[in-house]
Amino acid sequence: MPELGKVLVALGLLIAVVGLVLWTGFGRGWLGQLPGDIRLSRGNAHFFFPLTTCLALSAVASLLLWWFRK
């Protein structure tokens, strides 16, 4: 059980840090506007999928989780 406690504390801190970063507005200019993000507009219909942004955030999260496991 102590292992689960450490993981929950680490996830809580990670969520708090991400929330604080987003709250301050960091990344507002480039987050979601990376090359490779899909943006389609036709008339009144709009579709947006931040593919590259998702991949970058996934890589960062994977590195952080790998680092915490060591």
- How do residues 9-45 score in pLDDT, each as one tens digit? 888 998 898 888 878 877 677 777 889 899 999 999 9
pTM above 0.85, yes or no: no
Helix, strand or coil, per DSSP, at residue 27: coil
The pLDDT, as a whole number, for residue 1 is 64
Q: List the one residue out of 60, 64, 62, 67 whose CA is nearest residue 31.
A: 60
33 phi/psi in degrees, rounded to 5: -130, 30
Helix, strand or coil, per DSSP, at residue 15: helix
